[in-house]
Each structure stands twice: as C-alpha cells, then as structure tokens.
Structure 1
Amino acid sequence: MPRPHTPILSPTRIRATALALVDRDGLEALSMRKLAAELGVQAASLYSHVPTKDDLLHDVANEIIGRVDVSGFDEGWRPGVVRWARSYRAALAEHPNMVPFVARGPARRDASLRMADAVHGGLVGAGWPPREATMIGAAVKYIVIGAATSSFAAGFSDDAQLYVERYPHLNQAHLLREHAEEVDEDSFELALEGLLTTLDAKHEVV
C-alpha cells in the first residue's frame, strides 16, 4: 500500500494560506486548527513552523508591510512621504481584514520597524527635528489606516428615496456607492495634501 500523501508545509505556504483565510473570513476566524484544516494537515504539524497564532500574524503582517515603498526620501521629504503614504495605503487596502492587527504597532516586527526607520531617517535627514518626524509618521499612519480600513463612499445606501425624504442635505448620497473608488481615492489624496500643505509651511520655519 502506498503511504498517504502529506501536504508539504513551508513558511511561504502557511503565510499565504493564513492570509487567504483572513481575507475571506476575517481576522477573528483565524485559528491554528482552522488553518491546519485549510492546509490539509493536523494542527500539531504547524507548531514546528510557527509557535503561536500571534507569531503567524506577525509573519503575515511582515509580508504585507514588506511591499511598502519607502524609497522616495532620496528625492526629498515631501516626495518620500507621498510615495510612502500611497504605497502603504495600497498594501493595506489589499487586505483590509489585517488592518486592525497591523494598526496595533510594529512591536518587534522587522518589516514595520525597517519601514519606520526609513521614514524617520528620511524626515530627520531632511531637517525635521526627531519629535516632529515622529509626529509626521504618526499623522500619515492615521490617514492611511483610516483610508485602508473601509470605504467611506461604499457605506451609503443606493436608495435615493431614503435620503430625499429624511436627510435633505444628503440628496446625492445615493450616488456615492457607484463612484466609491473614485471618491475614496480623491478623499485620501485630499487628506494627504492637506497634511503636506500644513507641513510645507511648518518646514519653512524649522
């Protein structure tokens, strides 16, 4: 009799399957037992590759944050912030169910710490005091996390009558869902530009 086939586990396959599970079912749905079932193995088999669920989530978050582009600071602090913010949002928006975990902070996560180090170094190197650089990093993160967590425009109903009868100042809100991607993109850029305009004026006197 041939020996039963056991699926080969690798860190890459474990991370990819865990991320697909979170994307599909949500962060709270991830468990080592459920992940093992998705992989076709026993839960005990996973622990030789990843000690805990929290470690696994940090590995997945590392992979997502590792895609963020922080190379723009060679061109100046403003281009660096713009490229970083857009890339950061894009990376998180692909996996919105992971955003609550990523938003907790870098802890000891290598990719997040490398990102923070590059951003802080780019800002300080451009003349921002360390405290101001820290605040800029935090402000951009707040904009990015908010933009990546959910769609503002898609959260409205497409029932025009609902707004006409009860909320007259929202009489065009039923159109937002149809144009959600454009509205959300433009709104993110508005928030980012507002921050940058404030920082432009502040940087002149730093």
Structure 2
Amino acid sequence: MCAMARPRKPLLSRDRIVATAGTLVDAEGLAALSTRRLAAELGVSGPSLYNHFRTKDEILDAVADTVSAKVDLSMFAPGDPRDWRTALHDWAVSYRAALTDHPNLVPLLAQGPGRRPAGLKVADAVFGAMVRAGWPPAQATRIGALMRYFITGSALGSFARGFVNDEDAYDPADYPHLGQAHLLAERGEQVDEGAFETGLRALLDGLAMQYEAGVRGTWPKQDSANGS
C-alpha cells in the first residue's frame, strides 16, 4: 500500500497566519498588511484566510496580542514579594522591551486592549495589583492609563536617532547648545534607555508621594470611589 504524499506546504492554521502577518508588519509596517498580500505570503488563496479570521482587523488584533503575551506579569501575582513600586518598574521595563521589539505595532497597541485576551490580562493584572496594594480603584485606573501613555510613548520612536550624524548640521551660530548632538544617533540605544529609566523613576517617585499621602488618610475624595 502506497503512503500518502505529504502536502507541499504546511497546512494553514491560525498560528501560521498570525506569525506570517507579524513578520510582514515587523518588516514593512501596518500599511503593508492586506489579506491579498498575506495570502500570497502564505501561498494560499485569499478566501482561505476567512476560515480562520473574519477580517483583516481580527488578524491584526491577534498579531498585537502576541506582543502583549510577551509582557512579564509575574510581579503582580499574589505572593510575589515585590512591592507595588518595584512591580510597576519591572513590569514597565518588560512592557517596553516587548514594544521596542515590534515598533510597527506600537500605534495599534497604544489604542488599548479592546477584546484582545493577552492585552486584557495585562490591564487586569496591573489594576488588581494596585488595588491590593491599597490604591483606591479610581487612582488604580489612572495609574494603568498613565503607565500605558508613558511606555507606549517611549516606544513610538527614538529621541536620539532623531538627530543626524553630521556635525555640520548643528552650526553653533544657530544652535549654540547642540555641539554634541551629532553624536546622539550612534548612542541611540543608550540614550533612549537612559531617558526611559529616568522618566520611569521620576514617575514612580511622584506616585510614591501620592501613596504616602493616601496612607496618612488624605486621599482626595474623588480618588476614594471607583471610576474617574
């Protein structure tokens, strides 16, 4: 009895669609993704994608959620010894690392989790940990929003690489304080990571001051209730 021939291409699956779409977006940006282009990359007909996803937006949501799934949430687990400030710091570093690995997806992730399961787990973990730490629910909500603004904003682009590596571009007659600006581009990663850490620590310092005021019983009235 003859053995059945193996298919020339791997069978189409949700995971394969998402992985291929993610590779395409990473390489060429969100605008490059279309169902026609994706089908061609997969070597299938366009309609076959709809056996797994109803729309291109559903595919993009799934791709974005793979990034959220890479974010470390262990610091928010009940029983983890880290205090709320250390937990927020370590989570923010992990979150930013996931985003900077996939910069073309940052604008989509910055819109919020929507219905994406991994994204919702991130939001749930942060909010729950802050409430357990003693933050009023309204303030815990704001902290989650604040952290997302800061982290996604830091991952949207590079400050350092916004300068060109050309000393002549920064004439001291016009820009007397930018004499070393041409060196920023080659030190981009160091500058950007340092700026993120500086901003993160300043943000957490401010939150710690608010927290201490709350512990002393001086939470603003609007912070003591759920909601904004």
Instruction: Give the shorter-chain TM-score range.
Output: over 0.9
Give 1:49 shift: 1.1
Q: Which residue of 2 aligns with 1:186?
A: 194
Name the one with the larger helix percent.
Answer: 1
Contact 1:124 1:133 in 2 (8 A): yes
Residue in 2 that maps onto 1:94: 101
* Gap regions ≥5 residues in structure 2: 215-228
Residues 1:202 and 2:210 are matched in the alignment:
yes
> Taking every aligned residue pair, what percent have the same amino acid on both sides?
54
* Other-structure match for 1:127: 134
Match of 1:58 in 2: 61
Distance 1:203 1:134 in 2: 14
Paired position in structure 1 for 2:155: 148
Judge conservation of contact 1:6–1:41 (CA < 8 Å) in 2: no
User: Unaligned regions of 5+ residues in structure 1, if any?
Assistant: none
Point out the more displaced range, 62-71 or 181-190.
62-71
**Which of 93, 96, 106 does residue 113 from structure 2 map onto?**
106
The corresponding residue for 1:116 is 123
1:170 Cα deviation after fit: 1.1
CA contact (8 A) 1:19 1:60 kept: yes
Return the TM-score normalized by structure 2: 0.86
The C-alpha deviation readout for 1:110-160, integer Å capped at 9, x for no partner, is 111111001000001000011111111111111111111111101101111
CA shift digits 1:31-77 (9 cap, x unpaired) = 00000001111111111011111111111111110111122133221
Cα distance in structure 2, aligned partners of 1:128 and 1:69: 22
Which residue of the other structure, out of 65, 69, 72, is the alignment partner of 1:69?
72
**In terms of mean alpha carbon deviation, does 70-79 or 154-163 score higher?**
70-79
1:44 matched to which residue of 2?
Answer: 47
Letter in 2 for 1:101: L
Contact 1:7/1:41 (CA < 8 Å) preserved in 2?
no
Distance in 2, Cα, partners of 1:57 & 1:38 = 16
SS in 2 for 1:115: helix
TM-aligned CA deviation for residue 5 of structure 1: 3.5
Between 74-83 and 15-24, the greater mean CA deviation after superposition? 74-83
When the two chains are superposed, the root-mean-square deviation of aligned CA atoms in Å is 1.5
Give the structure with higher Rg (CA). Answer: 2
Distance 1:14 1:87 in 2: 26
- Relative to structure 1, the CA distance from residue 112 to residue 4 in structure 2 (aligned partners, 3 Å threshold; closer, same or farther) is closer
CA drift of 1:30 comes to 0.4
- Whole-angstrom CA distance in 2 between matches of 1:102 and 1:135: 18
Q: After TM superposition, where is structure 1 displaced by more than 2 Å over at least 4 residues in a row? A: 2-7
- Which residue of structure 2 lines up, in the alignment, with residue 13 of structure 1? 16
